[in-house]
């Protein structure tokens, strides 16, 4: 059974642990939108062949939620909701990280060979992105006021 556990007080973020089915042929995990995930999946993308020292992400979303999985390898995900920050490491293909709207996220320290899968609640829309950190902080503060 899938479990979703809040993560360190960061609003809208949680660890998603998928069921693992294992037999002599290996292991399999799966996620069904609106069942194992808190949204229907509208977009799928993945990152791979990340050069040493490279960072990905460095943005937030106004409406879109994501779940990230390190299908192989390991990556650190920095999270910031405008009040708190924390870093969560993804290193197991059955454990994902739910990132809700209004959370700045950056991916760094990719291990060689890492493949990071992202499942998104919305299609790509540039207007949904918050790409300037100071602008993100201003908008978060305005929303809180």
**Catalytic positions, please?**
59
Rg of the chain taking only CA atoms, in angstroms: 15
Contact between 66 and 106 under an 8 Å Cβ cutoff? The reply is no
72: phi then psi, degrees, rounded to nearest 5: -150, 155
Contact between 138 and 104 under an 8 Å Cβ cutoff? The reply is no
Nearest to 137 by CA among 79, 99, 83, 82: 82
Structure-block tokens of residue 133:
């950190």
């Amino acid at each position: 059974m899938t479990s979703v556990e809040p993560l360190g007080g960061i609003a809208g973020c949680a660890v998603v642990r998928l069921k693992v089915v294992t037999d002599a042929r290996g292991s399999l995990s799966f996620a069904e939108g609106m069942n194992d995930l808190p949204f229907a999946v509208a977009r799928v993308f993945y990152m791979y062949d990340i050069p040493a020292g490279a960072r990905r992400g460095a943005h937030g979303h106004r409406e879109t939620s994501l779940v990230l999985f390190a299908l192989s390898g390991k990556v650190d995900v920095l999270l910031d909701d405008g009040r708190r920050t924390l870093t969560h490491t993804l290193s197991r293909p059955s454990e994902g990280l739910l990132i809700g709207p209004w959370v700045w996220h950056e991916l760094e320290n990719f291990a060689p060979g890492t493949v990071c899968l992202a499942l998104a609640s919305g299609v790509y829309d540039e207007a949904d992105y918050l790409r300037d950190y100071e602008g993100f902080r201003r908008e978060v503060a305005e929303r809180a006021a």
